[in-house]
Chains A and B, each alone.
Chain A
Amino acid sequence: MSGSVVGWLRSAWRRLVAVVVRALDPLAIDHLTVARLSVAFGAFAGLWGTTDAMALRAEALTPGMGVWPAATYDAFFTTHGVTMLFFFATPVAFGLTTAVLPRLVGVEELAFPRIHALAFWLLPPGLFVARAPSLLDLLADVGLLGFRVRPPVVGWTLYPPMSLQPHAGIDLLLVGLSLGTLSTLLTALVVVVTVVTERTVPWARLDVFTWTMLVAAGLVVFSFPVLESAIALLLADRVLGTTFLAPPEGPMVFVNLFWFFGHPEVYVLVLPAMGVLSYLIPRFAGRDLFGKRSVVYSTLAIGVLSFGVWGHHLFASGVDPRVQASFMAVTLAVALPSAIKTFAWTTTLWNGSLRLEPPMLFCLGAVAWFVVGGVTGVLLASIPVDYAYHGTYYVVAHFHFLLVGTIVFGLVAGGYYWFPLLTGRRVDDRYARAHFWLSMVGVAVTFGALLALGLGGLPRRMATYPEVFAPMQTLATLGAFVLGVAQLLFVWGIVRALLVGDPAGDDPWGLAERGIEAREWSR
């Protein structure tokens, strides 16, 4: 018995070294290696951002000032938002895409593989520069640094005039963000060019995931340059002394630019998850996707409409009521294609022979949370409701039901499903199932409690709050911590699979034996 344990430890160690050495090969430009790096980097950033979230929730346990000073709390929600949106969700979504895309469109390699690799290598410096203020502040706290750079406290939206104040941390954040934005833009260009010009599969036979990612990449191509421009203007004002975004008109210019990027960004993140759902649900329901054509058209509709809704973020900023009404109409309209997708998914499930493998469990969870997040979002599209709730925890709950419940669940579903493609191994089902159920409980408790707090009128982004909200805040923290430990279990499941996981084989999900076509496993 002792021999088997020693042997297990020895083989695990060798495999760990091999995985690290292979993953860190900076000269590799093949799509699979770069995709592995992107996903691993995104997971690392995700854990970092999750730590921020846990710190935020720890503070919210007590109504008064608790574990952190108010400025630290503000810094945490700034870094949490930036890290999760730009350095976790986007790299993971495009990492999974670039891993599988060549096989789905029938090519050996992505277009511009060097640009694809370059795009990835912009991410680590981007993250570490953006997060440098937190790290430097920590080093100063423990006495290892003679100077101090305070973390920025401007929120992920970077609104001026707050973001124009003299602060080295904001400069670093903007530079890091700029690198992350450029990285995403380059990756999206690679995806668009690969699908449009390299593809050997005819349009009519293109799978629904590729369609969705093509639209998501298109959104990036049209929206991220606007963000890059807004960041450039901010940096120019801060460093060169220009006044592009200075009061009185500058801030409104910035918020319009920012949300012209910001709302398509929501769909840049949610479309990959929707693509995963549309792709995986039929595979584990044993049926073709119901209304595939309508699903593709709904994706294209989302792509177009998403550029016409940014004004709903500005309802409370004094915009002309007629403009507000038009944005409300488009925002309500964008719910229709989303509803079409939901209808297609549920109809595909109807009378299907469901196999509740881990990817399918996460898909079902994602659909459920999408309904909750979608309905709460549609209500916010209404101007009077938005006036009442836009500054409260209601908004936090709404977008976290989507960002965590739908996007993270969707990406995790894709992650489990394509893990054999990335690594040749499978994650043990027991860990994946435990991860799923803990995450479901965590999302329900955390964001359900935040929703209740929002309906109670509790303002968001505040480190302190009236005592009457404390029980619900504590419940939200308990749920968040459960969600947090669930992600530790996820990481352990992945690490364990890399070390001692079972080989996945050529048909890891048993699709071929059920007569289901899956190009990614076909060679």
Chain B
Amino acid sequence: MSRQTSPDVNGPDVNGPDRNGPDRKGNGVQELDSVVVRFAGDSGDGMQLTGTQFSVVTALEGSDLSTFPDFPAEIRAPVGTTFGVSAFQINFGSVEVSTAGDEPDVLVVMNPAALKVNISNLRKGGLIILDEGAFNAKNLKKAGYITNPLNDDSLSKFDVRRMDITRMTVEAVKQYGLGNKDSLRCKNMWTLGLLMWMFGRKRQPIIDSLTQKFAKVPEVARANVAALNAGHAFGETAEMSSNLRRYQINKYEESPGTYRTVNGNQSLAWGLLGGSRLAGLTLMLGSYPITPASPLLHILSGLKEFGVITFQAEDEIAAICSAIGASFAGGLGMTTSSGPGIALKTEAIGLAITTELPLIIVDIQRAGPSTGLPTKTEQSDLYQAVWGRNGDAPIVVLSVSNSTDGFEVGIEAVRLATKYMTPVMILSDGYIANASEQWKIPDINDYAPFPVKFHQDPEGFQPFLRDPDTLARVWAKPGTPGLMHRIGGIEKDYDSGHISYDAANHQRMTDVRKAKIDNIAGDIPLQDVSQGAPGGRLVVVGWGSTYGAIHQAVKRARKDGQDVAHVHLRHIWPLPRNLEELLTSYDTVIVAEMNVGQLNTLLRSQYLLNTVLMSKVSGQPFKIAEIAEEITRNLGDGK
């Protein structure tokens, strides 16, 4: 893997020649294309806040970026333990960045446990900035270190910068009269100040944000700002003595427009609201808190001025049932959850299918089965989404490919649900749900509205009257005179909509429900090739959050002259109508996914296609290098 992007060096000798020869300016500032920084500390050390703030200023300075918050399920695990370590990784640069980076170039550790958990992933020769003050006997023991790694040679492969952040923070905030605990809470801002000096980021946006955040406790605000400034000043004054160096990341050349950072849950929530507005419907969300989907409930609950109705139900089942009730009443029902919650909703999804009501079901996947790893990512709910119900029960399944894609997918889901009177399931996952990327903010006026027309005419009405083209049934909402009707989970007569136990009728209704969903393949875009061209030696097929890693791996392979393409699916069910032809045009099809082969099974069963599965289920996203290796292995001769 090429490394022209790293901030440093091959070993602890920071003054030695850089392997890939980045430009070195005379003023000690080193210019880089991109860099990966990982902040790691105890759950209570504020690493998520530090990382988020660093992302904001990084974006404001015009870098492309991608982040990866990596935190434990425990809210406050015992202090100093390895299972309480929380980390935030950011990859930013003047070049296109589409993952949070394989290996950090810079690792910031606030205690021994953070070092222990994160050291294995650090690039050889990478820079470690650590709080020496936290490396005491008690913390070392809690982290399970027998000897102090600062005193043996276990870190000899890295460039270790020890500084007593604890002591320097306490000194910096002394004048504000905070207690010891509150003083120590400012350590993260001290560290952030230092990093901002290293990467030449302006402090003012952070100072503004701290002042606003702690408006009610001004002494805390002032202490945090003081810590931030102290960290920054340390960088300036220590520059000469400790060889800490500054780095310059030039601006990423982007197309004109207004930008922001957005994570996958945010973009999806906004897409769902945007879609409901384009459809002219009231968005009603029935939801139950679950990691990592709860932010969708939080975001939509804060949008009451748009008429959004949110209902935190007593459980997952009541949540989806309320959403189906909402759609029956003429609103747009939605429910958001993660794998275990979707399992509970399964019976109700079947009812929405058979009563042919529009419904949006969002599954922010996490590692399973059962409770699994709640805060770790996986793509193992594809079977559940496509096949996981009793009876022949087809629905539309879409997937979100990155942190910004949720907006488009949300709108597309609403369009299909309302046009075809069907539940649509959206698959996202814990990685992109929490990870942020830059987003060129769209204008909702650029999207064509698709207003729903409720049925009004009593003449010849029955609730399962179908549009001959879409096969969608009419949507008649309560409150409309002359259209009173009863629907339910018992099979309906094709012609009258009354309950029917007739054998031939059940065949006919099952067939039409299937045909309706199959026909949607004619109303979705043809599958494109995101890199490369149709036909060739090898294609990597992916779906969901693996987009960034596959994109970068294929880009590198193509740069090296290899005949490799990347196909990334948004439409999981029905599949795009040209997909079979497209995939069979390649000699080798690698299906890369974070499960043991669910899309792989789907593609093989649909197309009798010979594929190579690339699977990973460690709770961590794919690394670019892992996919690059798989490409190389399958190309055999390497070209």
Asked if chains A and B come from one complex, the reply is no
